[in-house]
Structure 1
Amino acid sequence: MNSIRIPRERDNDYGRAAIKARQEFIRDQTDSPAEHVTHYSLDPCTLPGNVENFFGVAQVPIGLAGPVLVNGEHAQGEFFVPLATTEGTLVASYSRGMKLCREAGGITTTVLDDKMQRAPVFSFNNAREAKAFSEWLDANFEPIAAAAQTTTSSGKLIGIQKFPVSKLLYTRFNYTTGDAAGQNMTGKATFAACAWIKQNYPGELHFLLEGQFATDKKTSVVNMLHTRGKRVVAEITLPATLVEEQMHVSTDKLYAARMRGQLGSIMSVTNNNGNHSANGLTAMFIATGQDVANIAESSALYGFSELLPNGDFYASITIPALIIATYGGGTGLATQRECLDILGCYGAGKVYKLAEIMAATVLAGELSLGSAVVAEEWVQAHDDLGRNRP
């Protein structure tokens, strides 16, 4: 039985004829009129490397939140934040949190670490052979790094972590990747490094390029502890009077709710003791052309807060695995680049700035939702803003 094939053109699959053939194919094979998805302003010639079998676009509404005031090492000043979402109340909630933080003097942000991994696993006949290879890796790091470097001008191998078990050695090859997210970059570089290892190691070994220990696009404790992407902190001290005035809740009640939520997070064994970091990050990822599947790792969050002796409220979030780019991938596509331009974050040298703005946005959203829950305004806000009206 011959299956029906999606139309393709070998020579020019992003040309008008190929795209029109797929649009007509959809109309013929399905019940969809394919009216809205087939209208777009971008140039299909820019899409090779981003999508195959292109026929149209998904139009996601983008709202503007802010401004958020950031006191960062790389992001300094006020920023209006584009959020691509279909969830009512989201933009309004983040704007409310940004207003609170702005009136408190802004959010301080700090990028603590920057790593991207590929994680080969090496196999041996027994544990002693694995131990000997581990020691050999340490002694030969420089030529291994040089081999990896032959494949990239912006990535750099900065270390190899080793995790022995049985007769296997799991490793994490840690790289800096410049303004790119770097998963493909690190894969290519690590393959070159492993080829050099295979050729030069005096004993017998076998390897898989990825032993599932980089946990690519999967949340994991190892990435939360050791960093994957950018590790960034956002923090603020909120005056008690301002919190009560703006959020209609006292700081002692806010802190008490925080502690109860902390226990709930422990009981449910989550990767996140905050409220909804995935909301703001996903909306920014879609708007700015990030690989949205990386939200699986990037939404991990450590929240920490203190009720200060004078009643003021210290709040912070640490995002330990924020995987983003300001160059390459989907960031250069038409609407995505425009959203990065709104933030002043497109191109080389801007990825730490974007990381700090994202972290500040997450903290503002955490404070807004947390306050709404305590003040019993959460359900009403969704009733007012989160339902489609006729």
Structure 2
Amino acid sequence: MTDRKIPRDRADDYADEIIQARQAFAREHTGSALDHVASYSLDPGTLPGNVEGFLGVAQVPIGLAGPLLVNGEHAQGEFFVPLATTEGTLVASYSRGMKLCRDAGGITTTVIGDRMQRAPVFSFDDARQARAFGEWLSEHFDDVAAAAGTTTSSGRLVDIQQFPVSKLLYTRFNYTTGDAAGQNMTGKATFAACAWIKQNYPGEVHFLLEGQFATDKKTSIVNMLHTRGKRVVAEITLPAALVEEQMHVSTDKLYAARMRGQLGSIMSVTNNNGNHSANGITAMFIATGQDVANVAESSALYGFSELLPNGDFYASVTLPSLIVATYGGGTGLATQRECLELLGCYGAGNVYKLAEIIAATVLAGELSLGSAVVAEEWVQAHDDLGRNRP
């Protein structure tokens, strides 16, 4: 029987020889040439901690949108935004929205929340024991926070939310995590905190480190209400004449369509009453080395609009669970770092800036697509720019 075990090297699994052995193995067993997958400019020696069994790369085209004018507290000025995508019309649509917003004076952005969780569940013999533990946990918060803090220099336990059910106490240990996304950081810190709790609680306590209440990489109402990652608002007021000139639609029709879409979102019970936040967020995540699976949470959006008495159009998006990093994870890899540097966001002290740029990009994309649908230009745009077949 043919050996189908993927080649590994316990001493150095990122050396050229073992990578070439895996490529040869894949060619032999699949018949694929791997001409492009096996061609890359990055240094495999930088990959430990990011990928195992390295074979090659998946090259995703990156388009440049902008300039995007942001009036933020952390992101200020014009930015050219890298969008990694294979969807035609996407970059053009975002650029169109960015032009509209730039000509209107720019997008104002505000970070209003910062939390990352691990959510252990504690088990007891009955509800009264669970209640007593919850009271003890509140009284000893400082000690629990100190135990969590022994594992990290950049994370800080801010509070512990409690959600008692039956004889269980579900909790959310909420942290700030600096410029890192922080899922691993909070897991390690919370495990240390729970070990301290188990050792010091006067009664018997059993815990599961994650009770599925942090809803890691899953969309949820709890994260939308209570924040996971960065909570950031992007907003703008668009003059009616400018909208009509550039988007070929009146603001009253744009607002009427917004209300119809609102009802559709309610009927479908979605986490998002916007148009396509996942498009811009995913494209920026791929380009800048974010954990793309976090789009499941990060694409959640609260859209709010007003038709003002003078006919101008106020539009805003709130991203309640935007999980981003400018340090650690995939952000330091070759192309990802370069894309962060395009935005002036690589490294420590830049995570709020990146969050504001992403939120502004999302708003520009919402306005562009929303206008195209009302002006009946959406289908034609995809026909013109989104067809890649004979």
The alpha-carbon deviation at position 12 of structure 1 amounts to 1.2
- Aligned identity (percent) is 85
* Distance in 2 between residues matched to 1:136 and 1:81, nearest whole Å: 49
Give the structure 2 partner of residue 375 of structure 1. Answer: 375
* Distance in 1 between residues matched to 2:30 and 2:187, nearest whole Å: 38
The 1:2–1:149 alpha-carbon spacing in structure 2 relative to 1, beyond 3 Å, is farther
* Distance in 2 between residues matched to 1:257 and 1:138, nearest whole Å: 47
Give the structure 2 partner of residue 293 of structure 1. Answer: 293
Give the structure 2 partner of residue 157 of structure 1. Answer: 157
Unaligned stretches of 5+ residues in structure 2: none
Q: Does 1:387 align with 2:390?
A: no
Q: Does 1:146 align with 2:141?
A: no
- Pairs within 5 Å for 1:57-76: 57-76=57-76
User: Aligned letter for 2:272?
Assistant: N
User: Aligned letter for 2:212?
Assistant: Q
* Distance in 1 between residues matched to 2:3 and 2:233, nearest whole Å: 52
Give the structure 2 partner of residue 284 of structure 1. Answer: 284
The alpha-carbon deviation at position 10 of structure 1 amounts to 1.1
User: Aligned letter for 1:98?
Assistant: M
* Distance in 2 between residues matched to 1:158 and 1:260, nearest whole Å: 40
* Distance in 1 between residues matched to 2:3 and 2:109, nearest whole Å: 54
Q: Does 1:188 align with 2:204?
A: no
What do the CA deviations read for 1:7-46 (whole angstroms, capped 9, x no partner)?
0111111001000000000100002111100000000000
What do the CA deviations read for 1:172-206 (whole angstroms, capped 9, x no partner)?
00000000000000000000000000000000110
Q: Tell me, what secondary structure is at the counterpart of 2:204? A: coil
User: Aligned letter for 1:377?
Assistant: E
User: Aligned letter for 1:179?
Assistant: D
Give the structure 2 partner of residue 235 of structure 1. Answer: 235
* Distance in 2 between residues matched to 1:185 and 1:389, nearest whole Å: 45
Q: Tell me, what secondary structure is at the counterpart of 1:171? A: strand
* Distance in 2 between residues matched to 1:4 and 1:58, nearest whole Å: 23
- Pairs within 5 Å for 1:259-338: 259-338=259-338
**Normalization by structure 2: what TM-score?**
0.99
Q: Tell me, what secondary structure is at the counterpart of 1:60? A: coil
Q: Tell me, what secondary structure is at the counterpart of 2:303? A: strand
* Alpha-carbon RMSD: 0.8
- Pairs within 5 Å for 1:212-227: 212-227=212-227
Give the structure 1 partner of residue 250 of structure 2. Answer: 250
* Distance in 1 between residues matched to 2:193 and 2:12, nearest whole Å: 36
The alpha-carbon deviation at position 4 of structure 1 amounts to 1.5
* Distance in 1 between residues matched to 2:186 and 2:27, nearest whole Å: 41
* Distance in 1 between residues matched to 2:196 and 2:3, nearest whole Å: 44
Q: Does 1:173 align with 2:136?
A: no
What do the CA deviations read for 1:305-358 (whole angstroms, capped 9, x no partner)?
000000000000000000000000000000000000000000000000000000
Q: Does 1:49 align with 2:49?
A: yes
User: Aligned letter for 1:264?
Assistant: G
* Distance in 2 between residues matched to 1:318 and 1:195, nearest whole Å: 37
* Distance in 2 between residues matched to 1:316 and 1:220, nearest whole Å: 21
* Distance in 1 between residues matched to 2:228 and 2:13, nearest whole Å: 35
**Normalization by structure 1: what TM-score?**
0.99
Give the structure 1 partner of residue 95 of structure 2. Answer: 95
Count how many residue pairs are aligned between Structure 1 and Structure 2. 390
* Distance in 2 between residues matched to 1:63 and 1:117, nearest whole Å: 33
Give the structure 2 partner of residue 343 of structure 1. Answer: 343
Q: Does 1:207 align with 2:207?
A: yes
Give the structure 1 partner of residue 35 of structure 2. Answer: 35
* Distance in 2 between residues matched to 1:3 and 1:111, nearest whole Å: 54
* Distance in 2 between residues matched to 1:283 and 1:3, nearest whole Å: 39
Give the structure 1 partner of residue 84 of structure 2. Answer: 84
* Distance in 2 between residues matched to 1:293 and 1:388, nearest whole Å: 26
* Distance in 2 between residues matched to 1:200 and 1:275, nearest whole Å: 50
Q: Tell me, what secondary structure is at the counterpart of 1:18? A: helix
* Distance in 1 between residues matched to 2:217 and 2:109, nearest whole Å: 25
Give the structure 2 partner of residue 134 of structure 1. Answer: 134
User: Aligned letter for 1:302?
Assistant: Y
The alpha-carbon deviation at position 389 of structure 1 amounts to 5.3
What do the CA deviations read for 1:53-102 (whole angstroms, capped 9, x no partner)?
00100000000000000000000000000000000000000000000000
User: Aligned letter for 1:19?
Assistant: I
User: Aligned letter for 2:141?
Assistant: F
* Distance in 2 between residues matched to 1:112 and 1:87, nearest whole Å: 32
The 1:11–1:386 alpha-carbon spacing in structure 2 relative to 1, beyond 3 Å, is same
User: Aligned letter for 1:40?
Assistant: Y
Runs of 4+ in structure 1 displaced over 3 angstroms? none
* Distance in 2 between residues matched to 1:10 and 1:202, nearest whole Å: 45
What do the CA deviations read for 1:214-269 (whole angstroms, capped 9, x no partner)?
00000000000000000000000000000000000000000000000000000000
The alpha-carbon deviation at position 108 of structure 1 amounts to 0.2
* Distance in 1 between residues matched to 2:45 and 2:168, nearest whole Å: 46
What do the CA deviations read for 1:113-133 (whole angstroms, capped 9, x no partner)?
000000000000000000000
User: Aligned letter for 2:314?
Assistant: Y
Q: Tell me, what secondary structure is at the counterpart of 2:246? A: helix
- Pairs within 5 Å for 1:94-113: 94-113=94-113
Q: Which piece of structure 1 moves more, 352-361 or 31-40? A: 31-40
Unaligned stretches of 5+ residues in structure 1: none
Give the structure 2 partner of residue 16 of structure 1. Answer: 16
